[in-house]
């Protein structure tokens, strides 16, 4: 984690109201992992007192380019769209804990709902570099909000679902997941909370359904790793990237918590944003 | 502040030296050494070209009594800086004037439902709900690190009964690394029907006195702005033996969720902080500083040096930076440097000459002036 200046290189509206911006931030491009995020300051210091958190959408160590992908939802995101190439921003990062891929996992299932694509996009790059097979299930309201396949690595198997049936599967993206349950070694998801909760329910019974517990060697050889540790997350079938209103993004203000199954609120910015699905109390619990 | 050529310079210079007396009287903790006073007076006389002083030679220390000396008057406010460790290498804690840690209670608390924070025009609302691991865990996890820091760490203490406050303080008393207590009395007093201690002079004085009896640690008490008149409350707290006041806590407010079917925050109510709060904080510091002899530490929307100077002018001896840290974590350290440079440029050997320059020449009127608008 460090403060750094980054220069805007490219800014495009890739979908209605959705922007992809590329910044030159060499240290960040080298030092960050899929699942981590950055906290960017807006230029309007008096009116907007909080930084804005963005998933690191892609990071290219070779060129030093880091991209973010966001929807314009308020004055802060609108401010970002007015930046021009050459403008500099102040960012803090990389922040949070990344996705943990088990070294033995060959088939990764990525599930993204809408803007959630920004949360898992970089994992596709990392996985393909690691020689893994990647299937991306993407859900959106309609065909006009489908993430352009040209922005994905060629190796990714891309399957889409739309709420209105205008493209691909007619229904929620979560309905596609059972087809891949047996194929996938691990799944990684980012999107609206109800989508993640539904995925967590699907994932919960997987081990029993597939007989993994009986037939396969138990992952980790029966050792138990502390809940929330990278080792424990690495063994989880489903990891989710959570979203929450955020203040400081370093763990100081306790603004961005989610309730955990242990009964202690966990900070999205520090213990997360990536959690094993079974760490989260999906019904809340306050 | 006392810049040359400004028409108010002459007017200000004299009250400033008078004020040094009143400041010394009002804040026994911040006496002005004769040498410093003479230097400042000399500078005032040679107004066209104040003798510049190296920033490094400007005295920024703040003596709050009971052995608590802040290295500079720029502290970080409770709830915005965690336990001091979270910002890691981004902020050099040893250059801060002091650290007020996250609100700490006797038992662990899970806090309020989410969402807990949202941005508002010129500020933010938060309703964390005092999530913390409990005083014993706080001591165990952090006190050892605090003991190695140059910046004093004050533990912000919260509770729901006088007994809670007393017990938490007892456990903090004598712990190496704990430099003082900041009482957060903006908590519901469960024993008294859930009214906040902070809105009642009797309850505020009672909890302050009870804590005072069990510790010799420097004791700061944080005022709430959610009151009609701060003066009787400030007086009650000072009379009960507090060493300093901090003002102000957040102002109660709400935000509406997108879709407008409910309030946004999980707790409905949140506390407003940030630049939007500054005028309110200025007013309360101005009022409180006139009625108590103990130092007042200002909090509320500090985002630049001008804000620090404003709070000093209305009588604060130090300021806390809160919400602005989220956007600019290095701001507090930079403000301390800028304050020293500002003093140096104006030929001041101590920042204390900036304290109280905007206070009324005579002691303020008694509390006939309420908070309502008066034409």
What is the residue-level pLDDT of chain B in tens, covering all 375 positions? 444 434 433 333 333 433 343 443 444 444 444 444 444 444 455 456 778 889 989 999 999 999 999 999 999 999 999 999 999 889 999 999 999 999 999 999 999 999 999 999 999 999 999 999 999 999 999 999 999 999 999 999 999 999 999 999 999 999 999 999 999 998 776 666 667 899 999 999 999 999 999 999 999 999 999 999 999 999 999 999 999 999 999 999 999 999 999 999 999 999 999 999 999 999 999 999 999 999 999 999 999 999 999 999 999 999 999 999 999 999 999 999 999 999 999 999 999 999 999 988 766 554 445 555 544
Q: How many domains does the structure of chain A reveal?
A: 2
Ordered alpha helix ranges (H), chain A: 26-31, 75-81, 117-129, 177-180, 193-204, 206-210, 212-215, 230-235
Mutate which of A27, A74, A254 to disrupt the B interface (most B C-beta within 10 Å)?
Answer: A254
Mutate which of B93, B99, B114 to disrupt the A interface (most A C-beta within 10 Å)?
Answer: B114
Residues of A in contact with B256 (CB under 8 A): none
Task: Confirm whether A270 is domain-assigned.
Answer: no
Are A131 and A233 in the same domain?
yes
Residue among A51, A248, A286 whose CB faces B113 most closely = A286
Chain B residue with the nearest C-alpha to that of A45: B327
Residue A64, phi-psi category: left (phi > 0), alpha (psi -120 to 50), beta (remainder) = left
CA distances from B4 to B15, B51, B254, B347 (A): 16, 12, 45, 11
B126:A253 CB<8 A: yes
- Taking the C-alpha atoms of residue B217 and residue B220, their distance in angstroms, rounded to an integer, is 9
Which of A64, A95, A126 terminates a domain? The answer is: A95
Task: Confirm whether A135 is domain-assigned.
Answer: yes
Chain A to chain B, count of Cβ pairs less than 8 Å apart?
Answer: 109
- Taking the C-alpha atoms of residue A222 and residue B111, their distance in angstroms, rounded to an integer, is 35
Are A76 and A117 in the same domain?
no
Are A142 and A204 in the same domain?
yes
Q: Is the pTM of this model over 0.80?
A: yes
Task: Confirm whether A102 is domain-assigned.
Answer: no
Which of A95, A123, A138 terminates a domain? The answer is: A95
Are A75 and A23 in the same domain?
yes
In angstroms, the separation between the Cα of residue B327 and the nearest Cα of chain A is 5
B117:A247 CB<8 A: yes
Residues of A in contact with B119 (CB under 8 A): 48-50, 76
Residue A285: what pLDDT? 75
In angstroms, the separation between the Cα of residue B331 and the nearest Cα of chain A is 12
Catalytic residues of B: 187
Task: Please give the residue range of the domain that contains residue A114.
Answer: 107-243
CA distances from B242 to B99, B174, B222, B223, B300 (A): 18, 18, 10, 12, 21
Residue B19: what pLDDT? 38
Pick from A143, A139, A118, A146: which is nearest to A58 by CA?
A: A118
Strands A58-60 and A18-24 turn out to be unpaired
- Taking the C-alpha atoms of residue B311 and residue A176, their distance in angstroms, rounded to an integer, is 60
Q: What is the CATH number of the domain that holds A21?
A: 2.40.30.10
Are A120 and A55 in the same domain?
no
Are A69 and A147 in the same domain?
no
Task: Confirm whether A249 is domain-assigned.
Answer: no
Which of A52, A69, A95 terminates a domain? The answer is: A95
Are A63 and A175 in the same domain?
no
What are A's interface residues with B at a Cβ cutoff of 8 A? Answer: 1-3, 41, 45-51, 76, 92, 244-259, 263-265, 270, 284, 286
Are A111 and A234 in the same domain?
yes
Task: Confirm whether A162 is domain-assigned.
Answer: yes
Positions in chain A short of pLDDT 70: 211-223
Residue A81: what pLDDT? 96
With a CB cutoff of 8 Å and minimum separation 6, the contacts of A222 are none
Residues of A in contact with B327 (CB under 8 A): 41, 45, 49-51
Q: What is the DSSP string of A218-232?
A: PGGGG--PPTTSHHH
The number of C-alpha atoms within 13 Å of B68 and in the hemisphere containing its C-beta is 26
B116:A254 CB<8 A: yes
Task: Confirm whether A46 is domain-assigned.
Answer: yes
* Domains of chain B with CATH codes: 62-335 (3.20.20.70)
Are A89 and A111 in the same domain?
no
Residue A212: what pLDDT? 60
Are A50 and A124 in the same domain?
no
Residues of A in contact with B109 (CB under 8 A): none
Mutate which of B76, B117, B128, B271 to disrupt the A interface (most A C-beta within 10 Å)?
Answer: B117
Task: Confirm whether A280 is domain-assigned.
Answer: no
Residue A45: what pLDDT? 72
> What 3 state SS string does chain B have?
CCCCCCCHHHHHHHHHHHHHHHHHHHCCCCCCCHHHHHHHHHHHHCCCCCCCCCHHHCECCEECCCCCEECCCEEECCCCCCCCCCCHHHCCHHHCCEEECCCECCCCECCCCCCCEEEECCEEEECCCCCECCHHHHHHHHHHHHCCCCCCEEEEECCCCHHHHHHHHHHHCCCCCCCEEEEECCCEEHHHCCEEHHHCHHHHHHHHHHHHHHCCCCEEEEECCCCCCCHHHHHHHHHCCCCEEEECCCEEEECECCCCCCECCCCCEEEEECHHHHHHHHHHHHHHHHHCCCCEEEECCCCCHHHHHHHHHCCCCEEEECCHHHHCCCHHHHHHHHHHHHHHHCCCCEHHHHCCCCCCCCCCCCCCCCCCCCC
- Taking the C-alpha atoms of residue B293 and residue B241, their distance in angstroms, rounded to an integer, is 11
Are A91 and A117 in the same domain?
no
In angstroms, the separation between the Cα of residue A198 and the nearest Cα of chain B is 20
Task: Confirm whether A122 is domain-assigned.
Answer: yes
Whether residue A94 is preceded by a cis peptide bond, meaning omega within 30 degrees of 0, is yes
Are A153 and A67 in the same domain?
no
Residues of B in contact with A5 (CB under 8 A): none
Residue among A45, A244, A253 whose CB faces B114 most closely = A244
Residues of A in contact with B110 (CB under 8 A): 259, 263-265, 286
B119:A48 CB<8 A: yes
Residue among B86, B115, B303 whose CB faces A245 most closely = B115
């Amino acid at each position: 984690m460090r403060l750094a200046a980054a220069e805007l290189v490219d800014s495009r509206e890739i979908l209605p109201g959705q922007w992809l911006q590329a910044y030159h931030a060499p240290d960040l491009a080298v030092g960050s992992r899929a699942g981590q995020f950055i906290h960017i300051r807006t230029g309007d210091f008096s009116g907007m007192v909080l930084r804005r958190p963005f998933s690191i959408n892609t990071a290219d160590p070779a060129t030093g380019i880091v991209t973010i992908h966001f929807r314009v939802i308020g004055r802060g995101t609108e401010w970002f769209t007015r930046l021009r190439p050459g403008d500099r921003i102040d960012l803090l990062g990389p922040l949070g804990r990344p996705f943990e891929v088990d070294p033995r996992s060959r088939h990764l299932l990525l599930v993204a709902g809408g803007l959630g694509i920004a949360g898992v996009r970089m994992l596709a790059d990392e996985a393909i570099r690691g020689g893994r097979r990647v299937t991306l299930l993407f859900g959106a309201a309609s065909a006009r909000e489908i993430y352009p396949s040209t922005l994905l690595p060629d190796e990714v198997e891309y399957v889409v679902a739309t709420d209105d049936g205008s493209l691909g599967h007619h229904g929620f993206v979560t309905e596609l997941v059972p087809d891949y349950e047996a194929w996938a070694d691990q799944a990684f998801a980012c999107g609206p909370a109800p989508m993640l909760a539904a995925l967590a329910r699907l994932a919960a019974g997987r081990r029993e359904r597939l007989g993994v517990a009986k037939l396969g060697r138990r992952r980790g050889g029966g050792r138990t790793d502390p809940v929330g540790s990278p080792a424990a997350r690495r063994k989880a079938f489903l990891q989710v990237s959570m979203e929450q209103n955020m203040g400081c993004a370093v763990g100081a203000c306790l603004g961005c918590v989610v309730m955990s199954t242990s009964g202690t609120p966990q900070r999205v910015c520090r213990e997360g944003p990536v959690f094993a699905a079974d760490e989260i109390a999906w019904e809340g619990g306050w | 502040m006392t810049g040359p050529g400004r028409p108010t310079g002459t007017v200000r210079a004299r009250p400033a030296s008078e004020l040094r007396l009143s400041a010394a009287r009002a804040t026994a903790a911040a006496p002005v050494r004769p040498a410093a006073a003479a230097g400042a007076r000399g500078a005032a006389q040679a107004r066209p070209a104040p003798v510049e002083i190296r920033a490094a030679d400007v005295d920024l220390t703040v003596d709050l009594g009971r052995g608590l000396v802040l290295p500079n008057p720029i502290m970080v406010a409770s709830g915005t800086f965690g336990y001091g460790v979270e910002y890691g290498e981004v902020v050099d804690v040893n250059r801060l004037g002091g650290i007020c840690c996250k609100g700490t209670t006797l038992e662990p608390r899970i806090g309020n439902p989410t969402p807990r924070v949202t941005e508002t025009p010129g500020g933010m609302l938060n309703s964390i709900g005092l999530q913390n691991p409990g005083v014993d865990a706080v001591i165990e996890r952090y006190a050892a690190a605090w003991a190695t820091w140059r910046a004093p760490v004050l533990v912000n203490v919260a509770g729901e009964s006088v007994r809670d406050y007393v017990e938490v303080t007892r456990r903090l008393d004598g712990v190496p690394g704990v430099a003082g207590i900041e009482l957060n009395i903006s908590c519901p007093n469960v024993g008294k029907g859930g009214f906040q201690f902070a809105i009642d002079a009797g309850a505020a004085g009672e909890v302050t006195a009870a804590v005072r009896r069990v510790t010799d640690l420097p004791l700061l008490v944080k005022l709430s702005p959610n009151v009609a008149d701060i003066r009787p409350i400030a007086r009650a707290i000072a009379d009960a033996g507090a060493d300093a006041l901090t003002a102000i806590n957040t102002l109660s407010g709400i935000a509406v969720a997108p879709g407008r079917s409910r309030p946004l925050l999980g707790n409905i109510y949140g506390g407003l902080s940030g630049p939007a709060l500054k005028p309110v904080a200025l007013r309360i510091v101005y009022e409180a500083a006139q009625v108590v002899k103990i130092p007042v530490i200002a909090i509320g929307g500090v985002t630049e040096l001008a804000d620090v100077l404003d709070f000093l002018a209305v009588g604060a001896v130090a300021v806390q930076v809160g919400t602005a840290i989220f956007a600019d974590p290095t701001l507090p350290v930079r403000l301390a440097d800028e304050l020293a440079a500002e003093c140096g440029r104006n030929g001041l050997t101590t920042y204390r000459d900036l304290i109280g320059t905007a206070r009324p020449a005579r002691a303020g009127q008694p509390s006939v002036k309420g908070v309502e608008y008066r034409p």
